Amino acid sequence: MEDPRQAASQRPSQPRSLRLVMPTGHATERLPDPVPSGQMTLVEQLTEWARLRIDERVFRAGMRMPSIRQLAQEKGISRFTVVEAYERLVALGYLESRRGSGFYVRERPAQPAAAAPARPGVRTLDVTWLLRSMFHTAESHKAPGLGFLPNDWLDGELIASALRGLGRQPGNHFLASGTPQGFLPLRQQLRTRLAELEIGAAPEQIVMTSGITQALDLIARLYVRPGDAVLVGDPAWFVMFARFSAQGAQVIGVPYTPEGPDLEALERIVQAHRPRLLVLNSVLHNPTGTSLSAARAFQLLRLAEQYDFLIVEDDIYCDLCPPGHPATRLASLDQLRRVIYLGSFSKTLAANLRVGFIAADPDVATALTDAKLLCGLASPEINERVLYKVLTEGHYRKHVERVRGRLAQAADETRVTLERMGLRLFPGQHAGMYLWADTGRDTNAIATAGHEEGYLFAPGSLFSPTQLPSGWMRFNVASTNDPGTLDFLARQLDRL
């Protein structure tokens, strides 16, 4: 039988245009090459198609590429064209060939940022795949991996009304740069909200930020030095892994249980690494949807005191927690002595509003304000004034109640659907936006196949500091029950 590789090397390049089927609506998939596809050979087009997906980490390091026969059939081209394109990708360093097994995406060295050169022994964590996909996914019903509520779940009129009211106010006070610590009337309002959670915080203990992400950035800059250990849940929110890693930290995962971090594992890790920080969601943990038990909260504070580390409590899902759901906030027990508390309104109002805050010990709040000044001066006060009007005009509470009701109904429906498909849900009492489910398959493969057809899934590997392949997947209950999405998922589960 003729060797396809030998045959490929003897065939002339093919001048006709290859009609590669690519999903629409993804800005990152436009080819940067100025040569029109009609002037590229089939091999060049296929090479560019694969290279772009490897660069964007749709095809991730260690993944097996589609077989020569499979890709030829899917694209309607010859096997010789696929072989030659794969060989070019091997030569370019994108793929490696494993005899008898196929072609695999090669682990390629990360390009260090100019301002923060990589240091030996510090692994660069890769979390950009889902972030890029989230920002280019236009259809929320095709995005079970989305980290926000769909727009039609939110109340745009609340924001629009506040903007109109702000515009009618006399003078141009909202044109100034604002104050470093944030809009004082809003911080006074937040003091009242925190008191309802039994957290005592004066306005001078509250620092406004551009969302939770900036809050974590300020904390990392203030507390983390190269080589320091930072503990996170495993699983947990993936963006903070990269942020602390960029600061030079060792990001170490602590196994998670339905009641919170595994305390025995946590104590072993603390004894071995003496961390600076532990970061966690105490309420509606991302991605499991569970909340910290009271007993676990007391034990966490005891360990923090014993081994002298700080706890960063990310309570971004605070307002999505239904009444009566068992939830204990560490800041209410500790009163901001060893706990730094973070809050935000991006999940309930608008992701684009970008208003978050930090509540902390007065000395810590002062230090964080100084760090904020050096990083970006003041956060946008116009956004803070908009939020202040939303919170004080009396309609926000009703809006949140409606959202919680819809989430509870959607969660029940999603839970039944996923279990009927054979998925195993993370144990415990769930609430909020997410369900964490074990598919029994490689969820990187599901996410990759979904990307090709315009679906966004959140594979479990993204939620672990190790980023190892995982059978777990996070589902946003507000965007999972579309029949087309569920049919696609069922087909992938059968295929794998």
List the single range of 26-35, 75-84, 398-407, 484-493 with lowest mean pLDDT. Answer: 26-35
The yes-or-no verdict on residue 192 having pLDDT over 70 is yes
d(CA 191, CA 182): 13
Peptide bond into 235 cis (omega under 30): yes
Is residue 13's pLDDT more than 60? no
pLDDT top residue among 30 and 155: 155
The CA distance from 83 to 86, in Å, is: 5
What is the average per-residue pLDDT within 431-455? 91
The residues, ordered by sequence, that sit 6+ positions from 240 with a Cβ below 8 Å of its Cβ are 216, 232, 279
Average pLDDT over residues 45-71: 84
Element (H, E) at 163: helix 156-168
pLDDT band for position 8 (cuts 50, 70, 90): very low
Q: How far apart are CA 338 and CA 332, in angstroms?
A: 11
Q: Higher pLDDT residue, 139 or 213?
A: 213
pLDDT at 119: 38
| pLDDT mean across residues, the chain | 85
**Helix or strand holding residue 475 (H, E):** strand 472-476
Lowest mean pLDDT among 67-71, 91-95, 130-134: 130-134
Question: Residue 261's closest CA among 302, 226, 215, 223?
Answer: 302
Measured CA to CA, the distance from residue 229 to residue 453 in angstroms comes to 40
- Sketch the domain layout of the chain as residue ranges: 4-105, 128-151+398-495, 156-394
pLDDT for 115? 35
pLDDT tens digit sequence for 138-175: 577 889 999 999 999 999 999 999 989 888 887 766 67
Q: What is the length of the chain?
A: 496
Are the C-beta atoms of residues 259 and 292 closer than 8 Å to each other? yes
Counting Cβ atoms within 10 Å, is residue 5 exposed (0-12), middle (13-18) or buried (19+)? middle
pLDDT at 26: 31
pLDDT digits (tens, 9 = 90+) for 362-380: 999 999 999 999 888 888 8
Q: Would you state the CATH architecture of domain 156-394?
A: 3-Layer(aba) Sandwich (3.40)
pLDDT of residue 11: 42
Q: Could you tell me which of 184, 221, 222 has the C-alpha nearest to residue 206?
A: 184
Span 259-271, average pLDDT: 96
pLDDT of residue 394: 83
Query: Which pLDDT does position 275 carry in this prediction?
Result: 97
Share of the chain above pLDDT 90, in %: 59
The separation between CA 28 and the C-alpha centre of its own chain, rounded to angstroms, equals 18
Assigned CATH for 128-151+398-495: 3.90.1150.10
Instruction: Indicate if the alpha-carbon torsion angle 27, 28, 33, 36 is positive or negative.
Output: negative
Q: What local confidence, expressed as pLDDT, does residue 491 receive?
A: 95
pLDDT in tens, 322-332: 998 988 999 99
Per-residue pLDDT band for 136 (boundaries 50, 70, 90) equals low
Q: For residues 63 and 103, what is the distance between their CA atoms, to the nearest angstrom? A: 9
Q: Please compute the mean of the pLDDT values over residues 210-229 and round it to a whole number.
A: 94
CATH class of domain segment(s) 4-105 = mainly alpha
